[in-house]
Chain A
Amino acid sequence: MYAQLVKSDALKSREDMSPEERAFQDRVDNGEKIEPKEWMPEGYRKTLIRQIGQHAHSEIVGQLPEGNWITRAPTLERKAILLAKVQDEAGHGLYLYSAAETLGVSRDELLEKLHSGNMKYSSIFNYPTLNWADMGAVGWLVDGAAIMNQVPLQRTSYGPYSRAMIRICKEESFHQRQGYSIMMKMAFGTPEQKEMAQDALNRFWYPALMMFGPSDKDSVHSAQSMAWKIKMNTNDELRQKFVNETVPQAEYLGLTVPDENLAWNEDKQGYDFSEPDWSEFFEVIKGNGPCNRERLGARVKAWEDGAWFRDGLNAYADKAAARRQAASVAAE
């Protein structure tokens, strides 16, 4: 989702596990949390670094499509709200990078991997935000889809990740509600505004469905991640849940979900719906979406342009420490 395609190990059977691995699995099965200094299988550590890292990258790259509209928000209030939301995303990135760092990877290492294209972020942020209604659609659909995935992850087996998720989920509800409130304003406004809202829904619907990652039948190695409780639900389960909750919300707005096959299925107590175009998804992941180059370019530029400032603060801190040292020597 925010981590869509995380490479993981193949599921290890109990017979193939070492005594340490078996004891570890028992703890996970019992719902115990694994903490940074404790023994863990190397695959667990590596998969978590990939997943939490991808999640963190998504939070900070995710600032860009919305940041695009801060200076052009229609009112001062909407501007302050959007600013607060984008600020929250930076915080969420920070919580997650910190959680990843407890696994023995450094922040700079993670950023370097993002910048060189060796680590991914969610495909959703490679789509452009063309008008103000997109701010509504992003909050409502993109944050809505993120919440679907993040709520169960609060129960993940890795302590620092779980605690970061709890913090993030607390803040995320504001994000979705501010998005939906923009959608309400637009959908109940002038015909032109309603048209913009519909257009935003049309463009974001399928990319939002892609956020949950490929269908379970094509999803590689999620069994091991589920056994380790770093993935709590299958991609298709979460996608179904998202559609079930979102369709009535679209109906309330008087907007049409752009899917001719959408229909309530009484037997499964859920909607039948069309799959997104998975070839498009894999192209976007590969780097060929509408905004991939722009997004990554903006991140790299921000990092490089900020280098002198980070170095300057380091130099100041070193100088101040040297001064304190000198003063304490002189005092003795």
Chain B
Amino acid sequence: MTKKEWPLWEVFIRGQHGLNHRHVGSLHAPDAEMAINHARDVYTRRKEGVSIWVVPSRDITASSPSEKGPLFDPAESKTYRHPTFFDIPDEVGKM
């Protein structure tokens, strides 16, 4: 019998009330509950969080690094999406 390895989990921590959960790293655990326990031990020993999410790594679909150009370059020429593109005189107040 081959030895079954614990699956990999990605760990997300909410640092403070109101913030998004942010990815902090990963760990191995036999199930979701244990993954949370491990995440607490590994990633919040100094009270770094108020909430933990764990997601099986195999369930994460990621864009591939080679797609970076086609995915993100088109936004480069669309500078008008930024408010600073428009010259608004100071005397009309902040906008």
Contact = CB atoms under 8 A, between A and B. Distances in A.
Contacts of B18: 32-33, 159, 162-163
A178 B92 contact: no
B46 interface: no
B93 A84 contact: no
Query: Do most interface residues of chain A lie in helix, strand or loop, or is the interface mixed?
Result: helix
Q: How large is the interface on A (under 10, 10 to 19, 20 to 34, 35 or more residues)?
A: 20 to 34
A180 B92 contact: yes
B93 A245 contact: yes
Contacts, number: 53
B86 A181 contact: yes
Contact of B85 (A33, A159, A174, A249): A174
Nearest to B18: A33
Nearest to A252: B92
B95 interface: yes
Contact of B86 (A32, A35, A180, A248): A180
Contacts of B83: 173-174, 177
Interface residues of B, number: 18
Contacts of B17: 32-33, 159
Contacts of A80: 78, 80
A144 B20 CA distance: 27
A248 B81 contact: no
Interface in B60-95: 78, 80-83, 85-89, 91-93, 95
Interface in A146-196: 159, 162-163, 171, 173-174, 176-178, 180-181
Nearest to A37: B51
B33 to A, nearest CB: 15
Interface string A27-49: 00000110100000000000000
Interface of B: 17-18, 20, 51, 78, 80-83, 85-89, 91-93, 95
